[in-house]
Each structure stands twice: as C-alpha cells, then as structure tokens.
Amino acid sequence: MMEWTDRHCRYFLRQLSHHSLLYTEMVTTAALLHGDPGRLLQFDPAEHPVALQLGGSEPDALAESARLGEAHGYDEINLNLGCPSSRVQSGRFGACLMAEPERVAACVTAMTRAVAVPVSVKTRIGIDAQDTYEHLYRFVDRIAQAGCLTFIVHARKAILKGLSPRENRSIPPLRYEYVYRLKQDFPELEIILNGGVTSLDDAVARLAQVDGVMLGREAYHNPWLLADVDERFFNDSRSQPTRSGVMLRMLPYIERELQAGAELKHITRHMLGLFQGVPGARVWRRQLSQYGPVAGAGTEVVLAALEAVAEVSARDNATAGILHHHA
C-alpha cells in the first residue's frame, strides 16, 4: 500500500468507519532516522486508532523508529515482513526477512523493549521454497518468543525472484488453511488474516477461524465497503454515513490542508472509488481527475462533482420512474 494509505487517505477512510484500525504506508527506518520524521509521522488525531508500519532490519534503528512513532501518538507499531518488491529486498527488509528468523526476533525484541504500545508483525505464509506450514509455524513461534503477540498474515507466499509485487498478490495461491492452523496452534496469539477478502460477508466467514481480517486494496478501490463495518463488527449502530455526507465532512479538512500548502489532487485521488457501483461513479471520477490537478483547485471542485453525481442520480431515478409507469 506504499503511496496509497497516506494521512489524507486515512482521514478520508475514518469518515466511513470510526473503529477500524488504520495502517500507515510502510515507512523505512532510514527515512525516519535520516529524514524529516515530523513530516513522515504527521497525522490527524481523528485518525485514531492508527498503526505505524515500519520497514527495516536493524534492531537499534527499528527500536529508535518505534520510539519516534510512540512519541508521535501512534497506537501500534507494525513491522513489515510481507513486501516482496526488489527495491525492498535490496534494502534487506520486507518479505525476504522471513529467511532470517533470528534477525527478526532480535528486531522484535528491541522494538517491544523500546515502546509501551503493542508491536505487531505483518508477514506472508512463506517465501520461495520455504513454503511449508512447518516453516511458518517455526517462524511464528520464534517471533512470538521475542515478544510479538499479533500477527497479520497474508495467506500467500512471496516469490522473491521472477514475480513483480503485483503478480505476488495474485499468482501464489491463497492458503487460508495455513492461517487457520496458526490460530489453532497458537490460541494465545492474535492472528489476523489478510489477502483475497473482497466483501464483509467474506470477512464474517473468515472470522469464525481467526481474530481479525485486514482489508487492503479492496477497501481502497471500493471505500464504501467500510460504511457497514462499525455496525456489523463493532456493534455501533450510529446512523450510517451517506456518500455525499462523507464528502461534506471532508470539506473543512480539505480547506485546512490547502491553506497549509497541500494540493487538491493529493487529497482527492484517494476518493475516486467512493461512488463505485452506483449511478454517477464515472462522472465523479472524471470530475475529480480532470479538475483536481488544476493549479489553485479548491473545494469547489468537490462540490461541483457532487452536484454532477446528484444530476446523474436524479436522471436515472426519473428514467426508472418512467419505465415503472410503462410496466
């Protein structure tokens, strides 16, 4: 989810669900310790609960980065052991670290000692030829001994040579049974399933076997999926948002960010899928994509896009009424 789940995206998703735990895009220890941590770790208090995801392989650097995350107010620190990209591998972090359980254990120990907030790990079920359940069991057992109590498991292995990150999200088969066995073998651990879940009904079915479900790209491309999460999973029956209501609540945030120097396109690019599957989806995407990048664009672009969607919806409803009358 690199360059996707930035702070603008998370603030937007928070308008759809008050309770879902949101994750940052992966931030490397090198970027944090040698760059501008204030900018990289910035987030709005409305985003809580929110977890900081780190990429790295040096225990001291991860411990210091975790401390920075805790000091900035993050609710959880997550270590990424799932990303298969060649760029990440060359930095010796991400999925390739599954081949080095002792190093990962040292990293987790350093992180858990450095902070009071929970430290979690996001991992694959294996890499390359190291793809048996026994490999996964030994890996999780070792990392749990180091102090990690929460594992988010992408139920595919990663093939580090020969497949792109995109291909690694679809070509290796999903092995949900591995994740289910983990929960059976480690009942004291929190096991969260990731990969291939595209509906809340599917998530409900998976929750019979595990403690949680992580939604990634599906929630990004079809964010309205999150609108039912609070009622179905957190027993919060507050009135559900409407799509236009979500966008109207975003306007003060957009105004504030524009005044601070942000460009509209960097905020609205995360909202293109809001009307997916309903009348007006295409005009919504077109309006934001065409006018959002224009220099000086402001909230008037969003309001005009909402108006265009309303016109399409009214036209469709009128047509449906005519058809119904003739029927």
User: Token pair for residue 184?
Assistant: 């059976």
Stretch (H or E) spanning 27:
strand 27-28
- 83, 96, 107, 148: the active-site residue: 83
Cα–Cα distance for residue pair 242/248, rounded to 1 Å: 10
User: Token pair for residue 185?
Assistant: 């073998």
Cross-strand bridge partners of residue 81: 123
Which SS3 state, helix, strand or coil, does residue 191 take? strand
Percentages helix, strand, coil for the chain (3-state, rounded to 5) are 55, 10, 35
Written as one letter, the residue type at 280 is G
Please choose, from the candidates 194, 229, 236, the residue with its C-alpha nearest in 3D space to the C-alpha of residue 78: 194
Tell the residue number behind the tokens 């919504």, with chain if given. 284
Q: Is 83 a catalytic residue?
A: yes
Residue 118 CB-density burial (10 A; 0-12 exposed, 13-18 middle, 19+ buried): middle
User: Token pair for residue 173?
Assistant: 């088969």
User: Token pair for residue 2?
Assistant: 């690199």
In sequence order, the 6+-apart residues with CB closer than 8 A to the CB of 174 are 155, 156, 195, 196
What residues act catalytically? 83
